[in-house]
Chains A and B, each alone.
Chain A
Amino acid sequence: MNELFALTKRNTKLYFKDKGMFFSSLITPVILLVLYSTFLKKVYDDSFRSALLAAGADISDSVLNGCVGGQLVSSLLAVSCVTVAFCSNLLMIKDKTSGAIHDLTITPVRFGVLGFSYYLSTLFSTLIVSFCAALVSLLYLAVVGWYLTAADVALLILDVFLLTMFGTALSSCINFFLTTDGQASAVGTIVSAGYGFICGAYMPISNFGNGLKNVLSFLPGTYGTSLLRNHFLRGTFAEMKNQGFPNEVVEAIRESVDCNLEFFGTKVEIGAMYLIICASILLLIGIYITMNIIAGKKRK
């Protein structure tokens, strides 16, 4: 336990001492926030307003902003919790390139403990960035249209926590195989560019064809995005109903922004989404630790 604590402390200190690694982690949510608030917000606004007008419903600016804002910040957090983990989880590669890994592995420390320490320190640093991004997102909603309850906020924090754990576990499994800074950079770029699409953050999965929908339903990240959407938008949808929106219209909007996800035609409930995310986290951590143990045994 002391070894794990010492290694995690070392890794975390190194993360914050490396300004490049720290700022590159911070920059992902910042870029997404700027991108969403300056460009995508207007597109989403117009799309919502025209859809509601076509349905014959009138909507206040506050509810519209709350709805669009909720969609934007849920997308932002869904992407950044995972991509920030990839940007933060570089120390295991840096230790290989610098040779520090040799200095660690000549000690009696178990490889599983060493691997888990990278996971814990990355989780810690990614959580700091993710919670900062969540705080900024909540402040943004407070300004444009706040319809969240304390329970919603608590569940959002849980979602961010779980999604960050998931992103860290996923990045640990992938980065485990990388040995150079170039490979790490390439993987980071691919994940930053692609993850938003496959988790339904950049474009709702409901817009995709059935085949692609079925494929994406196998990816746990999509349920993470859906959880965030549900909790960020629950209050707004409740307010729409209070303002007399027909249930069908509200349900249609919920469908269109992936609040309801299906797995081969069967609706996935919120509880099941949590179960999928938690099981994925445990599975990925298990795989990662096993890979570390096998790597250790191969050396002996």
Chain B
Amino acid sequence: MADMIQIEHLKKCFGDLCAVNDLSFRVKEGELFAFLGVNGAGKSTTINIICGQLKKDGGNVKICETDLDKEPDLIKRSLGVVFQGSVLDKDLTVKDNLESRAALYGIHGTKFKERLSELARLLDFEDLLRRPVGKLSGGQKRRIDIARALLHKPKILILDEPTTGLDPQTRTLLWGVVEKLRKQENLTVFLTTHYMEEAADADFVIILDHGKIAAEGTPLTLKNTYTGDFITLYGVSEDDIKKLGKPYERIRDAFRVSVPDTHAATELIIKNPDMFRDYEITKGKMDDVFLAVTGKSIGITGGEQ
């Protein structure tokens, strides 16, 4: 798989504060790449540099093997961006908004009408075309934001906290569309999110802390590295659990025992076969990984907790 994004030793400082400090990573073609971190970790700064919105202080950025310093306009044609908040013109209709943005990529006339129909079908907004964006619900606006980002058929879709504040139905629709595009068009998706369950579905994850990579890998690698396994035991007493000599917590109708890894869980089960009649073994969650790596939990607002 080709590298769609290559970042080497990227640096950006604002006065004494280095928002991005010697950051290097690669995003492969067709990958769902999750870029995590609390607010101020350097996610938005990195995205702004990739999109040509912010000048970098050092390092190299290549998008689709094109150097950002040499061909910034070519790179802009490869990127589609869904911003944290909707940045479309609220007073204009959906069609007017998309028409004005499409023209900036040289898409107009019949070409625009065809693309608009395609996107309206894909994102189910055919009945919203004549409505002002300001009058749409949050979920409807998000669908239009995604349509706007896809107007010029970009190779990389940057989703900057795309599902924050959305209802579950719209989130499902959004991810359905993204998955469809990834499969059909081999679209590369660069995602920042505060929902760890979304990051758990990624092909590769980077956790950023103070402008540096604090951890990186597939969700499975990260879970194996930074969290242990959990055995949930049903139908046992607390005295029995205490005998296992492992840390545990009481949940509604069971006990959740922490073990370092799956191997340790297996050993525990073999040693105490009478106790393990009704149980399940689960990996740690991405929330646990995030907490272990950064020492901070991540809330919906992305602030430190």
Contacts and interface: CB of A to CB of B under 8 A. Distances in A.
Interface stretch (A63-71, A105-113, A268-276): A105-113
Contacts, number: 76
A3 B104 contact: yes
Interface of B: 51-55, 69, 72-74, 76-77, 79, 81, 83, 85, 87-92, 96, 99-101, 103-106, 108, 148
Contacts of B52: 105-106, 299-300
A248 interface: no
Given A10-B92, A14-B89, A107 B101 contact: yes
A102 B44 CA distance: 13
Given A10-B100, A108-B74, A299-B55, 6 more contacts: A6-B108, A98-B87, A103-B83, A103-B101, A107-B101, A108-B105
B108 A14 contact: no
A100 B88 contact: yes
A97 to B, nearest CB: 11
A298 interface: yes
A182 interface: no
A7 B89 contact: no
A254 interface: no
Interface of A: 2-3, 5-7, 9-10, 13-14, 17-18, 98-100, 102-109, 298-300
Q: Chain A's interface: helix, strand, loop or mixed, by majority? A: helix
A299 B53 contact: yes
B92 A14 contact: yes
A100 B55 CA distance: 19
Nearest to B85: A99
B102 to A, nearest CB: 8
A265 to B, nearest CB: 51
Nearest to A98: B87
B176 to A, nearest CB: 24
A104 B148 CA distance: 11
A102 B101 CA distance: 12
